[in-house]
């Protein structure tokens, strides 16, 4: 058995259920004999025996679990077997003849993939069409390998069939492949989850060690050596970057094994430590890696990472104050390494040494090698290191600003692998393709595999230019490099397989024919992946970032994949640059970035082909830069957000590029982004809009995300259709299943108010078109915002009416459909109060800077002391009520007033409170389920409204009056009963369930009261509670029933008013 797919300890506990019975032993022996007799030399000849193996050994049932010769959902390809359960297909099986090498490319004219690569291709095709196929079995009858589709091709568990007569081997085999493991108990899925958790815990634990070490180096340099803060941060990161590179390289035999650890240990063990002897030895190692040292068997790596001379830094050997680093310690636990260190260094010496060196020694114990060793709990692969680097970006910014939580403020969020993978593949591959419709490497290669077409692909591939304008840790650039390398590898296999001429089918459709096609023999039979990756980094990959540490981390993350013994690292200074991607004026930034001057050769040849990334967002922009943005970014309105500025900047500087960003979903509907949306609709071809409802970024406060892909073109296609995709869960994106998809003409959204873009089905599009032909609320009514009490709200608001200037005020939470549940609060509307307030009295909202002036916006009293509809601003539903009691309200409430005497407020209220109205609003403005959903005044004014006379409005008015009356009665009873509970039983705060007691059964009500420490064991008390509860329910239930009945009547009237068809009504009612 070979296993680098699962943690051995994790699977061991699941193997005890499996028993090698006498019957299975006999069947295994017979199968092994046939293998030894070479009976399965031909691939298809052994199919019946393999089918029996699935049934007799692994316990699958043919009719229920096994699909044979399966080409369903695979496209034109065919997979030999597939396994399925009630949820669908979960495993594809690629079977080859018993003499086939599973890792050797096949000798086919049009397919040079290995059997493993071929199987992954089948799984990918099937997952795209019918949901995830998570498992892949590849076999040549002798060897059985299990792969997980989400893992890399190099990770698998493998068994030789001849070893299965060993009971322990058999148990592990059954865990990997059996029906019990995959279908009955699904234990294998539990192990995958456990492995993910263990890997995440290791990454987090190591990052805390890594970050603590950085903080300690910074603290020593800044506080003991009096180094400038930013220089101390930069040097601390450089030292760590170098140490990680050396540890990584020595693990992979690119430097002498454990060289950094041995240098530190040799000096410490010698006890010749006084001032900075340890640092001197470590810095000599840095110099050797930069320049090379034959005596130490160290090659010259250079590449810029080791170029800067750090000789003058001189970290101390000994820190006498044991509490010096106390405030920067992080939580991490690698006791195994600490114990190991304790055996190598005596205790007294260990206690004297600067803790920085102790941490570096512990880092040196980690395994950075490529070898997939079984049960290695401390292996740090490049993927984990990528997350470490990405985490570093935010923490470095926090360190610079002396503020925790800056990551949220500055919009620095870490892009998950499945997002970088999706964006890079779905941008690079279609660009290189001839049809623009392919998005896998296999599909791309098939487009060009005929004749010398592959030369066209090769040429285009060599010249592609890819940029990430906010490259962070280099995650997108690393992924892009991986994809380009895979394509180069595929082209190499195609070229390698062709000699002089072979007959091939060429052409398309009816014009296809067989011709002898010339191909070249490239004369090289081993693909040099490292050299090709170096070429890609130098010729195709570019990045810019404002943060100099980010630039160095990006370079390091790229270097780790091209380290090669005896070769210098590529110099990436001309590719990865530090600068402000948005600003080219030195008056407004210390890092102005003039794109055409920084990349002259690229811009002289048409510019970048592809722009990818995760631009920063959700941040506060410094006031002195606001004037620059206001002047140079005319499409960005009012509340500026960096991600919006990045999009506008892309429109300014690139001409024929494909841009693919992950950004907040708010671009599609935020009223302040209307001008930018219009520009995108008019001046670009929007290729794809992919919305994800669930949070993509765990630390982000924003809700859904958007993957936006558009092509900059001098003459965009006016008939372009936007591919709209939407996923509820991130898992849908990972698995590429359960995703809704539709195509809508781009020009259609130019007819939508404020150019909002949302996912529309074909039926929704028809309904929306009908709504947009109507007049709007704004045509017949006036809409107003409320007062903004700003930073003196705590002074203006009171629970009692102290003078005649105190006016009753309502908040959004006080408004329900057809009722206002006033909280009893007043607002002091004496405008003279502002002259009595000092700066010390001001209270800014949490998260906002302290202000030095009163931030208050009075409104004319006429707005409040008037007949009106008040409607909640927050939330994703329309909730409003009629007000004739002159309530004042703040900015989280909108007021609607009569403009046209031929219209009624109550008529409008009845419509807005109907379910169809909320559905219409959500159709026009994609706000359903959003965390910070708001009903904006502008959008409310554009709500479609049929124009009818007062006589036709009368039935709506009558039912509105009924609803006002019923809801007031209901609210009076509910408030009275809740008041009785609190006063009678001394309950200070009601639970959420008691707030809605009328939805509870009698027993549930008693349980809730018991939770509030009310004595319900006493028979007298319980009977008293039950009696009062029942009396209240006798009042509320009939009212609730009548309210529901009237609501339904109004809904039906609204359907008729808007002339909806039965099919349209069904769509709306099915959405409830």
Nearest CA to 264 out of 164, 365, 189 is that of: 365
Contacts of 806 (CB under 8 A, 6+ apart): 798, 800, 826, 827, 828, 829
Pairwise pLDDT comparison (451 vs 689), residue with the higher score? 689
pLDDT of residue 513: 59
pLDDT of residue 580: 96
DSSP string, 286-301: HHHHHH-BGGGTB---
pLDDT of residue 522: 54
CA distances from 1068 to 309, 580, 635, 773, 1038 (A): 69, 48, 36, 19, 27
Question: How much of the chain is helix, strand and coil, in % rounded to 5?
Answer: 50, 15, 35
Write down the CATH number for the domain with range 648-760. Answer: 3.40.50.150
At 407, is the pLDDT very low, low, confident or very high (cuts 50, 70, 90)?
Answer: very low
CA distances from 660 to 379, 423, 468 (A): 33, 6, 10
Q: Which residues of 139-173 are buried (b: 16+ CB within 10 A; e: fewer)?
A: bbbbbbbbbbbeeeeeebbbbebeebeeeebbbbb
Domain residues of the chain, as ranges? 2-185, 211-380, 417-614, 648-760, 777-949, 959-1070
Is residue 95 helix, strand or coil?
A: strand
- pLDDT greater than 60 at residue 409: no
At 515, is the pLDDT very low, low, confident or very high (cuts 50, 70, 90)?
Answer: low
Answer for the pair 128, 741: CB distance below 8 angstroms, yes or no: no
CA distance 943 to 929: 20
**pLDDT digit string, tens, across residues 97-138:** 999 999 988 776 566 788 998 888 888 776 555 566 889 999
CA distance 629 to 996: 50
CA distance 127 to 737: 7
Q: What are phi and psi of 706, to 5 degrees?
A: -135, 130
Other CB atoms within a 10 A radius of the CB of residue 764 amount to 18
**pLDDT digit string, tens, across residues 624-642:** 888 899 999 999 877 788 9
- Kindly state the average pLDDT of the residues 391-401: 81
Residues in the chain: 1072
User: Crossing angle for the helix pair 905-912 and 1019-1057, nearest 10 degrees?
Assistant: 110
Beta strand pairing call for 721-727 and 684-692: parallel
Beta strand pairing call for 576-578 and 66-70: unpaired
> What percent of the chain stands above pLDDT 70?
91
Pairwise pLDDT comparison (255 vs 1071), residue with the higher score? 255
CA distance 758 to 677: 12
Q: Given the structure tokens 């909806």, which residue do they identify?
A: 1060
**Assigned fold of 777-949:** Adenine-n6-DNA-methyltransferase TaqI; Chain A, domain 2 (3.90.220)
Does the domain made of 2-185 have the CATH classification 3.90.1570? yes
- Kindly state the average pLDDT of the residues 690-703: 74
Is residue 283 helix, strand or coil?
A: helix
Answer for the pair 463, 543: CB distance below 8 angstroms, yes or no: no
- pLDDT greater than 80 at residue 850: no
pLDDT of residue 996: 95
**pLDDT digit string, tens, across residues 672-684:** 899 999 999 999 9
In this chain, the answer to whether the domains covering 648-760 and 777-949 adopt an identical fold is: no
Which helix (H) or strand (E) segment is 463 a member of? helix 453-463
CA distance 429 to 479: 13
Q: pTM of the entire structure?
A: 0.79
Positive or negative, the CA dihedral 339, 343, 348, 353 is negative
Mean pLDDT of the chain: 89
pLDDT of residue 890: 94
DSSP string, 497-551: H--SEEEEEESSGGG-EEEEEE----S--S--HHHHHHHHHHHTEEEEES-HHHH
DSSP string, 659-703: EEEEEEGGGGT-GGGHHHHHHHHHHEEEEEEEEE-S-SSTT-SS-
At 509, is the pLDDT very low, low, confident or very high (cuts 50, 70, 90)?
Answer: low
CA distances from 610 to 147, 467, 489, 650, 661 (A): 32, 6, 21, 11, 11
- Kindly state the average pLDDT of the residues 569-598: 95
Question: How would you class 831 by CB atoms within 10 Å of its CB: exposed for 0-12, middle for 13-18, buried for 19 or more?
Answer: exposed
- Kindly state the average pLDDT of the residues 934-959: 96
Q: How many CA atoms lie within 13 A of 285 on its CB side?
A: 23
- pLDDT greater than 60 at residue 374: no
DSSP string, 749-804: GGGSGGG------HHHHHHHHHHHTSEEHHHHEEEEE-BB-GGGHHHHEESS--ST
Three-state secondary structure readout of 201-246: HHHHHHHHHHHHHHHHHHHHHHHHCCCCHHHHHHHHHHHHHHHHHH
- pLDDT greater than 80 at residue 79: no
Q: Given the structure tokens 């013994």, which residue do they identify?
A: 565
Nearest CA to 596 out of 607, 611, 583, 582 is that of: 607
- pLDDT greater than 60 at residue 440: yes
**pLDDT digit string, tens, across residues 142-184:** 999 999 988 777 789 999 999 999 999 999 999 999 999 999 9
Rg (the chain; Cα; Å) = 34
**Token couple for 573:** 């200074």
Answer for the pair 82, 91: CB distance below 8 angstroms, yes or no: yes
pLDDT of residue 131: 60
Answer for the pair 219, 358: CB distance below 8 angstroms, yes or no: no
**pLDDT digit string, tens, across residues 182-204:** 999 888 988 887 777 777 888 88
**pLDDT digit string, tens, across residues 904-920:** 999 999 999 999 999 99
Pairwise pLDDT comparison (928 vs 620), residue with the higher score? 928
> What percent of the chain stands above pLDDT 90?
65
- pLDDT greater than 60 at residue 613: yes
CA distance 827 to 787: 10
**pLDDT digit string, tens, across residues 990-1048:** 999 999 999 999 999 999 999 999 999 899 999 999 999 999 999 999 999 999 999 99
- pLDDT greater than 60 at residue 323: yes
pLDDT of residue 122: 83
- Kindly state the average pLDDT of the residues 382-407: 74
CA distances from 919 to 246, 303, 878, 928 (A): 60, 59, 9, 9
At 389, is the pLDDT very low, low, confident or very high (cuts 50, 70, 90)?
Answer: confident
- Kindly state the average pLDDT of the residues 572-591: 95
- Kindly state the average pLDDT of the residues 492-498: 76
Longest Cα–Cα distance in the chain: 104
At 369, is the pLDDT very low, low, confident or very high (cuts 50, 70, 90)?
Answer: confident
**pLDDT digit string, tens, across residues 230-260:** 999 999 999 999 999 999 999 988 999 999 9
CA distance 13 to 5: 16
């Amino acid at each position: 058995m070979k296993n680098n797919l699962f943690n051995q300890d994790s699977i061991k506990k699941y193997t005890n259920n499996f028993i090698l019975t006498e019957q299975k032993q006999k069947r295994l022996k017979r199968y092994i004999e046939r293998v030894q007799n070479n009976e399965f030399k031909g691939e298809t000849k052994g199919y019946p025996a393999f089918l029996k193996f699935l049934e007799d050994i692994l316990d699958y049932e043919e009719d229920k679990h096994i699909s044979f010769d399966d080409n369903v959902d695979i496209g034109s390809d065919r997979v030999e077997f597939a396994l399925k359960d009630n949820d669908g297909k979960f495993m594809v099986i690629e079977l080859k003849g018993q003499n086939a090498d599973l890792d050797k490319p096949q000798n086919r004219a049009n397919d040079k993939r290995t059997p493993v690569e071929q199987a992954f291709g089948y799984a990918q095709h099937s997952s795209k069409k019918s949901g995830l196929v998570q498992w892949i079995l590849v076999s040549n009858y002798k060897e059985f390998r299990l792969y997980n589709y989400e893992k890399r091709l190099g990770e698998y568990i493998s068994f030789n069939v001849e070893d299965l007569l060993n009971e322990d081997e058999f148990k592990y085999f059954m865990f990997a492949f059996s029906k019990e493991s995959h279908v009955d108990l699904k234990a294998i899925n539990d192990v995958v989850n456990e492995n993910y958790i263990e890997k995440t815990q290791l990454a987090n634990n190591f990052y805390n060690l890594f970050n603590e070490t950085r903080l300690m180096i910074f603290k020593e340099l800044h506080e003991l050596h009096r180094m400038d803060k930013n220089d101390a941060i930069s040097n601390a990161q450089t030292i760590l970057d170098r140490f990680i590179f050396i540890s990584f390289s020595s693990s992979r035999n690119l430097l002498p094994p454990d060289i950094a650890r041995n240098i530190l240990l040799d000096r410490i063990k010698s006890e010749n430590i006084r001032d900075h002897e340890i640092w001197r030895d470590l810095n000599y190692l840095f110099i050797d890696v930069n320049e090379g040292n034959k005596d130490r068997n160290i090659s010259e790596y250079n590449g810029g990472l080791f170029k800067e001379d750090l000789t003058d830094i001189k970290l101390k050997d000994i820190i006498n104050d044991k509490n010096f680093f106390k405030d920067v310690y992080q939580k991490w636990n690698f006791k195994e390494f600490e114990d190991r260190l304790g055996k190598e260094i005596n205790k007294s010496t260990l206690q004297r040494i600067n803790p920085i060196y102790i941490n570096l020694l512990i880092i040196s114990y980690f395994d950075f090698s490529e070898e997939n060793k079984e049960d290695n709990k401390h292996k740090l692969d490049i993927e984990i290191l990528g997350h470490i680097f990405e985490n570093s970006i935010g923490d470095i910014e926090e360190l610079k600003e002396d503020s925790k939580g800056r990551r949220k403020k500055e919009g620095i969020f870490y892009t998950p692998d499945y997002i970088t993978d999706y964006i890079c593949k779905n941008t690079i591959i279609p660009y290189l393709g001839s049809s623009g419709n392919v998005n896998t490497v296999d599909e791309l290669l098939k487009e060009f595999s005929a004749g010398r077409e592959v030369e066209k692909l090769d040429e285009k591939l060599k010249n592609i230019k890819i940029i990430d304008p906010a490259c962070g840790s280099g995650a997108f650039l690393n992924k892009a490099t991986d994809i380009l390398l895979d394509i180069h590898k595929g082209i190499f296999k195609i070229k390698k397989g062709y000699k002089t001429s072979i007959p091939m089918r060429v052409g398309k459709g009816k014009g296809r024919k067989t011709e002898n096609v010339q191909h070249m023999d490239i004369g090289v039979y081993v693909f040099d992946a490292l050299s090709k990756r170096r070429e890609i980094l130098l010729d195709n990959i570019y990045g810019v970032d404002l943060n100099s540490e980010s630039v160095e981390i990006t370079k390091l993350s790229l270097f780790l994949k091209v380290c090669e013994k005896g070769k210098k690292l590529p110099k990436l200074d001309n590719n990865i640059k530090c600068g402000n991607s948005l600003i080219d004026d030195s008056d407004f930034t210390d890092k102005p970035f003039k794109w055409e001057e920084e990349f002259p050769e690229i811009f002289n040849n048409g510019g970048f082909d592809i722009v990818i990334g995760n631009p920063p967002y959700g941040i506060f922009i410094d006031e002195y830069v606001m004037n620059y943005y206001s002047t140079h970014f005319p499409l960005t309105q009012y509340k500026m957000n960096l991600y919006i500025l990045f999009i506008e900047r892309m429109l300014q500087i690139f001409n024929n590029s494909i841009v693919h960003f992950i950004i907040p979903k708010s671009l599609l509907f935020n009223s302040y982004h209307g001008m930018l949306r219009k520009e995108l609709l008019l001046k670009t071809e929007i290729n794809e809009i992919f919305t994800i409802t669930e949070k993509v970024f765990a630390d982000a406060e924003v809700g859904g995300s958007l993957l936006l892909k558009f092509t900059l073109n001098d003459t965009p296609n006016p008939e372009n259709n936007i591919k709209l995709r939407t996923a509820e869960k991130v898992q849908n994106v990972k698995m590429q299943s359960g995703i809704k998809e539709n195509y809508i003409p781009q020009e259609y959204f130019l007819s939508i108010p404020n150019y909002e873009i949302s996912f529309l089905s074909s039926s929704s599009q028809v309904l929306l078109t009908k709504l947009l032909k109507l007049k709007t609320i704004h045509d017949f009514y006036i809409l107003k915002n409320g007062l903004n009490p700003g930073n003196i709200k705590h002074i203006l608001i009171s629970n009692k009416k102290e003078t005649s200037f105190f006016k009753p005020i309502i908040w959004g939470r006080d408004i329900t459909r057809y009722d206002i549940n006033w909280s009893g609060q007043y607002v002091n509307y004496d405008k003279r109060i502002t002259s009595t307030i000092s700066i010390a009295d001001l209270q800014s909202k949490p998260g906002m800077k302290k202000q030095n002036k009163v931030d208050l916006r009075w409104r004319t009293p006429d707005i409040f002391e008037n007949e009106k509809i008040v409607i909640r601003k927050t939330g994703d539903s329309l909730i409003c009520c009629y007000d004739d009691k002159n309530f004042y309200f703040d900015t989280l409430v909108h007021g609607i007033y009569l403009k046209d005497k031929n219209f009624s407020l109550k008529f409008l209220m009845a419509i807005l409170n109907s379910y169809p109205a909320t559905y219409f609003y959500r159709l026009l403005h994609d706000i359903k389920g959003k965390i910070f959903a708001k009903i904006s005044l502008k959008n409310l004014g554009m709500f479609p409204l049929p124009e009818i006379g007062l006589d036709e409005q009368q039935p709506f008015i009558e039912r509105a009056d009924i609803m006002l009356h019923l809801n007031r009665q209901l609210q009076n009873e509910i408030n009275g009963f809740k008041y009785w509970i609190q006063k009678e039983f001394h309950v200070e705060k009601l639970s959420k369930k008691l707030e809605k007691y009328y939805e509870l059964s009698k027993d549930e009500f008693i349980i809730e009261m018991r939770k509030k420490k009310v004595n319900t064991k006493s028979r007298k008390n319980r009977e008293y509670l039950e009696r009062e509860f029942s009396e209240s329910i006798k009042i509320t239930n009939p009212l609730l029933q009548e309210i529901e009945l009237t609501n339904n009547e109004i809904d039906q009237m609204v359907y008729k008013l808007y002339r909806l068809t039965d099919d349209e009504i069904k769509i709306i009612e099915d959405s409830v």
